Structure 1
Amino acid sequence: MEAERYKGYSIWGHAILQQEDILQLERYAASGTITRNNTFIEASGVLGHFDTEDEAQQAGLSWARAWIDNHGE
């Protein structure tokens, strides 16, 4: 999980391991979460699947920034 502050919000990018079989390559599902003053604001659901944990986390953070830019104060 990668976290940062953005325009007064706390945002997180999540990477959820999606390996169904030990012989399969690891893939990560991405999602994002937004809070403000320790209050839940929004969560994304699955944004897509990525080859690396970092790519998935960055996708979640990007989603959160875009959501704030479109819905924030």
Structure 2
Amino acid sequence: MQSQMYHGYRVWGHAILQQEDILLPERCAASGTITMGGKLVEASGVLGHFDSEEDAQRAGLVWARAWVDAHG
């Protein structure tokens, strides 16, 4: 999980480990969360699946910053 401050909000990028079949490589589902003052403002659903935790977290952060830009 990665977080950063963005225009007064705390934005989070999450990577949720997914493994549907033991014979397939592990993948990570991405999601994003926005908080302010420790309270939830908005959360995404699954944004997509990625081959690495870093890519999934980055996708969550990109979504969260875009949400703030559109609603903040």
With the shorter chain as reference, the TM-score category is: over 0.9
Other-structure match for 1:28: 28
Gaps of 5+ in 2: none
State the one-letter code of the partner of 2:54: D
Other-structure match for 2:13: 13
Runs of 4 or more above 6 Å deviation = none
State the one-letter code of the partner of 1:25: P
Counterpart-to-counterpart distance in 1, 2:54 and 2:22? 21
Q: What's the TM-score, normalizing by structure 2?
A: 0.96
Q: What's the TM-score, normalizing by structure 1?
A: 0.94
Other-structure match for 1:71: 71
Q: Map 1:29-44 onto structure 2 (within 5 A).
A: 29-44=29-44
Counterpart-to-counterpart distance in 2, 1:16 and 1:45? 12
Deviation at residue 39 of structure 1 after TM alignment: 1.1
Q: Which moved more, 1:45-54 or 1:16-25?
A: 16-25
Counterpart-to-counterpart distance in 2, 1:62 and 1:26? 22
Counterpart-to-counterpart distance in 1, 2:17 and 2:37? 29
Task: Specify the SS of the correspondent of 2:33.
Answer: strand
